[in-house]
Amino acid sequence: MNLLTVSGSPHVHTQQSVKSIMYGVVIALIPAIFVSLYFFGLDAARVIFISVAACLFFEWVIQKYLIKGPVTINDGSALVTGVLLAFNVPSNLPWWILVIGALVSIGIGKMSFGGLGKNPFNPALVGRVFLLISFPVQMTSWPLPKGLFGSGLTDAITGPTTLGVLKEGLDAGKTVQEIMASPDFPGYINDLLGAQGGSLGEISAIALLLGAVYMLSRKIITWHIPTAYIGSAVIFSGILWLVDPTHYIDPALHLLAGGMILGVFYMATDMVSSPMTPRGQIVFGIGAGLLTIMIRVWGAYPEGVSFAILIMNAFTPLINNAFKPKRFGEVVKNG
């Protein structure tokens, strides 16, 4: 007879694994990948390919030759980082800038802390913000969508993003209504569908929401962070808009424009760098929502999602300590 296995209970295990979660996120990103291919053509494919390949390569090199430990590039986490980094840059970004971004994401954002699970910040956002600060010109010239096979690299026509137009116009002293009436302005429907200038993955809210529904239904993410994030952003921007609609845009535009949907569902919900308790996640979401609107309205950059999430990532350990779960039996009865 074979020897029996002996171990502590439980003896059964859920089907969900780190790998299935990571690949679940990749599946959720597929609709948005298709939309980016549709609007930016082969440029989008180029950016996604370089970013993913570079992320996988750097993870492999670091694990094999620097750490000399097990190589885990097939766990899907570097793949997710690669796609998200690609989604956060314009489609005409030179390849070497992308490679630098991947090195910063994986090397500094993730492996320097000990790899998956140990990183305090979302790796893709670390790379993105590093590039934004280091290469501001290349990172903010947005090619306009031209269709699947219609683009060359050098003759791309660039145009501003919704938030960029608004920031510039408001700084020049125009009112929101004047800016929105100008022909440059993409408008709500284009924001929703994706026919506008912007980062690869920021452009179509509908495709991103489709993936978000998938992640929620597969229980890869929970509702806490997205709801709190969107809720606080809508309420805060709504108050500003009600006070002065000529200087502050309405909450719907805040939601649809820029990287809000991408950030809320795909990066703020990154489990490694967000709080672990539902209570903490709600606090995290509220904080990120407020910071996003503050940076958009009063900051130097038109877009604030990346900074807001990174700042809240830094608060995550404190939030974990301060917001404990509701304990069973902690209710102290009076009288």
Partner 1 sequence: MKTFKLGGVHPEENKISAGEAIEVLPLPAKVCIPVSQSLGAPSKVVVEKGAIVKTGQVIAKGESFISSNVHSSVSGKVTKIDEVIDTSGYKRQAVYIDVEGDEWEEGIDRSPEIIHDIVPDRDAIIRKINEMGVVGLGGATFPSHVKLMVPDGKKAEYLLINGVECEPYLTSDHRLMLERGEEMVIGVKILMKALGVSKAFIGIEKNKQDAIVHLSVICSKHPGIEVVPLKVKYPQGGEKQLIKAVVNREVPSGKLPIEVGCVVNNVGTALAVYEAVQKNKPLIDRVVTVTGKSVAKPSNLLVRIGAPVSALVDFAGGLPEDAGKVISGGPMMGKALTSLDVPVVKGTSGILIMQGAESKRAAALNCIRCGRCITACPMGLEPVLLAQLSENQLFERAEKDRIMDCIECGSCHYTCPAGRPLLDYLRLGKNKTGILIRNRGKK
Binding site for partner 1 (CB under 8 A): 1-2, 4-14, 16-18, 20-21, 75, 114-118, 222, 271-273, 275-278, 281, 324-333
Question: What is the three-state SS of 79-123?
Answer: HHHHHHHHHCCCCCCCHHHHHHHHHHHHHHHHHHHCCCCCCCCCH
- Pick between residue 1 and residue 300 the one whose CB is nearest to partner 1: 1
User: Smallest gap, in angstroms, from Cβ of residue 223 to partner 1?
Assistant: 12
User: Smallest gap, in angstroms, from Cβ of residue 220 to partner 1?
Assistant: 9
- Pick between residue 175 and residue 222 the one whose CB is nearest to partner 1: 222
46-58 burial, b at 16+ Cβ within 10 Å, e below that, comes to bbbebbbebbbbb
Instruction: Name the residue with tokens 């489990």.
Output: 271
Task: Give 159's strand partners.
Answer: 142
- Pick between residue 115 and residue 198 the one whose CB is nearest to partner 1: 115
- Pick between residue 15 and residue 154 the one whose CB is nearest to partner 1: 15
Burial class (CB in 10 A: 0-12, 13-18, 19+), 250: middle
User: Smallest gap, in angstroms, from Cβ of residue 270 to partner 1?
Assistant: 10
> Do strands 142-143 and 158-159 pair parallel, antiparallel, or not at all (unpaired)?
antiparallel
Residue 18 corresponds to which tokens in the numbers above? 């780190």
User: Smallest gap, in angstroms, from Cβ of residue 264 to partner 1?
Assistant: 18
User: Smallest gap, in angstroms, from Cβ of residue 51 to partner 1?
Assistant: 22
Residues shown for the chain:
335
User: Smallest gap, in angstroms, from Cβ of residue 69 to partner 1?
Assistant: 11
- Pick between residue 69 and residue 245 the one whose CB is nearest to partner 1: 69
C-alpha to C-alpha distance for 191 and 209, rounded to whole angstroms? 13
- Pick between residue 18 and residue 209 the one whose CB is nearest to partner 1: 18
Residue pair 38/147 in contact by the 8 Å Cβ criterion: yes
User: Which regions of 26-182 does DSSP assign to beta strands (E)?
Assistant: 142-143, 158-159
